[in-house]
């Protein structure tokens, strides 16, 4: 779908060609993708970089193209040229399996396709591979070249064609929202559609930056962060009021005009008028001090300190740049890193590193140009975009983003002054981020090679799968699989399995593991008839990696347990007829002491590694990541059941106490958050009942 397009694009042509005999082309068939797996926004910048996979740099090879020949591709494109319009549009090249290989746009589609159809044209090897695999071409006509650029970016993100640079950036950026649908506005973190009334400030690079800013704003402006339900149920101020992070509007500790003034000051600060706000607070502090109201003066002092803390955390803040996104790209050793900084209201609201995957022949300008169009496909552009490198279609990109934003957007490469300094700062961050990622990747490769030597594996594992399960006395049982490879944890490959077997004895870990492994590997061996996988993919394709260089089958399977669990898995694999997959079980040390684990492998004595052995540390990381993922999945499942069942499941708590709890706390979520002491303050709830309620919500899964 085209953003702000005047008319719906109209399909114009579809040309096909049947394969015919011809010589094979000695061309490589490696893929070109751009991977921007992010990160958990809650994590630090270093953790964000860990979550972004740094892919292998690909080079031209001399493998034979199996999907077709150059003659077949040229014939298909020649057919398309005869029907192609001379106006702007978007074209898609497809193979015999109807998979989209490439999406491109052109001001003159006929002229662009003609350049592919010439048999002796001096084209790059990756373009020749694409032509050799092409059997038909589809064309969509657009009104303008600007519309074609927007449509091209949208289709690339939707279809993820094999030969395009791809931006896989599914996570939306977080914003700060000061709500506008309540007399006492709330400050909170927000993602997604901006449908709730209020003022939105952002984007921030990650949720950690938002959380730190909100905490500091609460100290500075005393705005509430509680939900409306919690607010309405209060009869006395909560802990945030006691620690001076809320003005207490819920119990009228502050009147409406006073609270409205605090909200106005916070809005002014986030809107870029921070200097005026700080001057006002400083004047109020001096006034209170002169009138010997030292307690009031101390309150203003603390608020000023909180505002200074926000700005110190933001690092570099420009003097002359009000609103801009800064993009800097650094290439080294065949790899690229794009660093993005967000500046809004004259403040630095964070940065994020992306790690593109592209052939070494791609220049920084080409990578950056492909990156930008897709980056803003689902994000509002700022007034100014600053780049470290000149891109070929900067004017066209500016026009397209102006159409999308509904206001003028400027794209420029600064040559001097403060804007040039911002680019230099971003380039430094890009260079350092890529250096850290290269070092991490090298370390990962050494660890995988060390596993071969230490564990006697037949070859260096490219895909490692680790399995664990979790439950509380057999309830809400869930299994999980995490995946690791040469580039670290592959989070887009993680899977969770809600245990469905009805005949399982509560706590039967063997039975749970059997169900998980059978469901996982039966899908690979022979998908169930008529079953569909996530997003409509065929079952036998749903577990494939997005990067075709990453294998679908594991080289090593690790399970949490001892010799018994290992033998059970061997039996399961034997029943399924699986071979060629190495197995290992990791048993915890005495008293669950990390560093004293025992490793079990088929037909071998137990292995005990030195506590400081890097391979043992690596195995611990894999095991702990699986445990973290399965515990998180279990808790989400259990919380969902608790929310659906309300308070009915808590033993020994009758209807009157449940009503008292809801009346006191407002919502089930706030009851879940409450401490034993807070629960004990509810009328009719004894200390023993408070303990039972707390343990019900905080029971540790097994």
3-state SS of 668-697 is HHHHHHCCHHHHHCCCCCCHHHHHHHHHHH
Q: Do residues 181 and 283 share a domain?
A: yes
**Residue 354 is assigned to a structural domain of this protein:** no
Q: Do residues 573 and 608 share a domain?
A: yes
Distances (CA, A) of 700 to 359, 371, 497, 691, 694: 48, 44, 19, 15, 12
**Does 80 score more than 80 pLDDT?**
yes
The average confidence (pLDDT) of the chain is 75
Kindly state the average pLDDT of the residues 64-79.
72
Please name which of 212, 209, 181 lies closest in space to residue 194, comparing C-alpha atoms. 181
**Residue 629 is assigned to a structural domain of this protein:** yes
Bridge-based pairing of strands 384-387 and 410-412 is parallel
Q: Do residues 187 and 154 share a domain?
A: no
503 or 10, higher pLDDT: 503
Kindly state the average pLDDT of the residues 382-387.
92
Q: Which of 127, 159, 191 is the last residue of a domain?
A: 159
What's residue 36's pLDDT? 33
* Rounded Cα–Cα distance for residues 325 and 75 (Å): 44
Bridge-based pairing of strands 324-332 and 187-190 is unpaired
What's residue 88's pLDDT? 92
> What share of the chain in percent tops pLDDT 70?
74
**pLDDT-based confidence at 413, cuts 50/70/90?**
very high
How many domains is the chain partitioned into structurally? Answer: 4
Q: Do residues 558 and 694 share a domain?
A: no
What's residue 680's pLDDT? 79
Q: Do residues 154 and 35 share a domain?
A: yes
- Residue for token pair 């009328």: 683
What's residue 30's pLDDT? 34
* Rounded Cα–Cα distance for residues 149 and 164 (Å): 14
Lowest mean pLDDT among 46-50, 143-147, 148-152: 46-50
Q: Which of 313, 331, 366 is the last residue of a domain?
A: 313
**pLDDT-based confidence at 539, cuts 50/70/90?**
very low
**pLDDT-based confidence at 38, cuts 50/70/90?**
very low
Distances (CA, A) of 604 to 305, 563, 601: 63, 11, 6
Q: Do residues 504 and 631 share a domain?
A: yes
pLDDT digits (tens, 9 = 90+) for 208-221: 778 878 887 888 78
**Residue 445 is assigned to a structural domain of this protein:** no
Q: Check which CATH number belongs to the domain holding 28 and give it.
A: 3.40.1440.10
* Rounded Cα–Cα distance for residues 512 and 468 (Å): 9
Q: Which of 102, 132, 159 is the last residue of a domain?
A: 159
* Rounded Cα–Cα distance for residues 4 and 418 (Å): 34
658 or 214, higher pLDDT: 214
Type and span of the H or E element at 400: helix 394-405
3-state secondary structure of 591: helix
Bridge-based pairing of strands 556-560 and 582-587 is parallel
Task: Indicate whether this model's pTM tops 0.85.
Answer: no
Q: Do residues 230 and 83 share a domain?
A: no
Q: Do residues 488 and 620 share a domain?
A: yes
Q: Do residues 143 and 226 share a domain?
A: no
Question: Which segments of 180-323 are extended strands (E)?
Answer: 187-190, 198-201
**Residue 522 is assigned to a structural domain of this protein:** yes
Q: What are phi and psi of 141, to 5 degrees?
A: -85, 140
Q: Do residues 192 and 304 share a domain?
A: yes
C-alpha gyration radius of the chain = 29
For 80, residues 6+ apart whose C-beta sits below 8 A from its C-beta are 13, 14, 15, 91, 113, 136, 137, 139
The neighbouring-strand residues paired with 355 are 35
Q: Check which CATH number belongs to the domain holding 566 and give it.
A: 3.30.420.340
Kindly state the average pLDDT of the residues 552-567.
87
What's residue 347's pLDDT? 75
Lowest mean pLDDT among 461-475, 527-541, 575-589: 527-541
**pLDDT-based confidence at 502, cuts 50/70/90?**
low
Q: Check which CATH number belongs to the domain holding 651 and give it.
A: 1.10.150.20
Kindly state the average pLDDT of the residues 255-279.
79
* Rounded Cα–Cα distance for residues 496 and 598 (Å): 26
Q: Do residues 496 and 634 share a domain?
A: yes
What's residue 56's pLDDT? 43
* Rounded Cα–Cα distance for residues 549 and 487 (Å): 12
Please name which of 341, 281, 288, 270 lies closest in space to residue 305, comparing C-alpha atoms. 281
**Residue 221 is assigned to a structural domain of this protein:** yes
**Does 434 score more than 80 pLDDT?**
yes
Please name which of 528, 533, 481, 476 lies closest in space to residue 499, comparing C-alpha atoms. 476
Q: Any alpha helices (H) in 458-590, and if so which ranges?
A: 509-525, 563-576
- Domain assignment of residue 693, given as a range: 646-698
Q: Do residues 306 and 235 share a domain?
A: yes
**Residue 204 is assigned to a structural domain of this protein:** yes
**Residue 318 is assigned to a structural domain of this protein:** no
**Residue 309 is assigned to a structural domain of this protein:** yes
């Amino acid at each position: 779908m085209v953003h702000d397009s005047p008319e719906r694009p109209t399909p114009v042509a579809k040309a096909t060609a049947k394969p015919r005999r011809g010589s094979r082309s000695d061309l490589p068939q490696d893929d070109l993708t751009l991977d921007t797996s992010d990160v958990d926004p809650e994590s630090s910048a270093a953790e964000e970089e860990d979550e972004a996979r740094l892919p292998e740099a690909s080079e031209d090879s001399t493998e034979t193209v199996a999907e077709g020949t150059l003659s077949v591709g040229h014939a298909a494109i020649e057919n398309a040229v005869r029907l192609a319009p001379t106006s702007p549009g978007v074209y898609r090249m497809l193979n015999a399996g109807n998979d989209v290989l490439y999406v491109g746009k052109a001001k003159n589609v006929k002229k662009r396709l003609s350049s592919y159809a010439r048999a002796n044209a001096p084209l790059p090897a990756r373009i020749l591979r694409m032509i050799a695999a092409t059997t038909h071409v589809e064309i969509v006509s657009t009104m303008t070249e600007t519309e074609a650029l927007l449509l091209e970016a949208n289709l690339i993100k939707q279809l993820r064609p094999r030969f395009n640079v791809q931006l896989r950036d599914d996570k939306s950026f977080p914003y700060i929202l000061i709500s506008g649908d309540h007399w006492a506005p709330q400050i909170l973190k927000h993602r997604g559609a901006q449908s709730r009334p209020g003022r939105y400030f952002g984007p921030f690079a990650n949720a950690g930056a938002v959380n730190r800013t909100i905490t500091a704003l609460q100290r500075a402006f005393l705005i509430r962060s509680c939900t409306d339900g919690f607010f309405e149920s209060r009869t006395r101020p909560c802990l945030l009021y006691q620690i001076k992070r809320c003005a207490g509007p819920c119990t009228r500790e502050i009147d409406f005009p006073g609270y409205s003034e605090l909200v106005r000051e916070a809005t002014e600060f986030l809107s870029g008028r921070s200097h005026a706000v700080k001057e006002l607070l400083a004047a109020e502090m001096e006034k209170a001090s002169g009138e010997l109201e030292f307690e009031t003066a101390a309150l203003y002092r603390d608020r000023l300190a909180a505002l200074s803390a926000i700005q110190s955390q933001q690092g570099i803040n420009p003097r002359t740049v009000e609103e801009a996104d800064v993009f800097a790209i650094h290439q080294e050793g065949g790899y690229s890193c794009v660093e993005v900084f967000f500046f809004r209201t004259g403040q630095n609201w964070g940065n994020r590193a992306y790690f593109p995957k592209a052939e070494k022949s791609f220049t920084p300008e080409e990578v950056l140009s492909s990156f930008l169009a897709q980056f803003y496909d689902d994000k509002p552009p700022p007034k100014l975009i600053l780049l470290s490198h000149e891109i070929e279609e900067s004017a066209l990109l500016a026009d397209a983003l102006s159409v999308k934003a509904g206001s003028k957007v400027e794209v420029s490469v600064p040559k001097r002054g403060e804007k040039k300094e911002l680019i230099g700062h971003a380039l430094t961050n890009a260079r350092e981020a890529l250096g850290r990622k290269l070092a991490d990747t090298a370390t990962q490769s050494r660890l995988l090679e060390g596993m071969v030597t230490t564990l006697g594996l037949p070859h260096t594992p490219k895909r490692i799968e680790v399995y664990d399960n979790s439950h509380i006395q057999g309830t809400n049982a869930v299994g999980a699989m995490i995946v690791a490879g040469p580039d670290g944890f592959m989070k887009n490959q993680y899977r969770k399995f809600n245990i469905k077997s009805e005949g399982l004895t509560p706590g039967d870990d063997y039975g749970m593991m059997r169900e998980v492994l059978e469901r996982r590997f039966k899908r690979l061996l022979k998908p169930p008839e008529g079953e569909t996988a996530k997003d409509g993919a065929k079952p036998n394709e749903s577990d494939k990696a997005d990067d075709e260089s990453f294998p679908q089958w594991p080289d090593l399977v690790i399970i949490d347990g001892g010799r018994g669990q290992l033998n059970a898995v061997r039996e399961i694999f034997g029943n399924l007829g699986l071979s060629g997959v190495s197995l290992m079980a990791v048993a915890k040390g005495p008293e669950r002491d990390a560093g004293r684990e025992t490793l079990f492998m088929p037909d071998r004595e137990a292995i005990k590694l030195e506590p400081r052995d890097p391979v043992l540390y690596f195995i611990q990381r894999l095991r702990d990541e699986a445990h973290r993922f399965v515990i998180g999945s279990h808790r989400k499942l259990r919380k969902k059941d608790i929310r659906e069942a309300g308070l009915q499941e808590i033993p020994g708590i009758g209807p009157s106490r449940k009503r008292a709890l809801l009346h006191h706390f407002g919502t089930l979520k706030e009851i879940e958050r409450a401490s034993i002491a807070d629960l004990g303050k509810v009328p009719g709830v004894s200390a023993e009942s408070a303990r039972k309620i707390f343990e019900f919500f905080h029971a540790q899964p097994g």
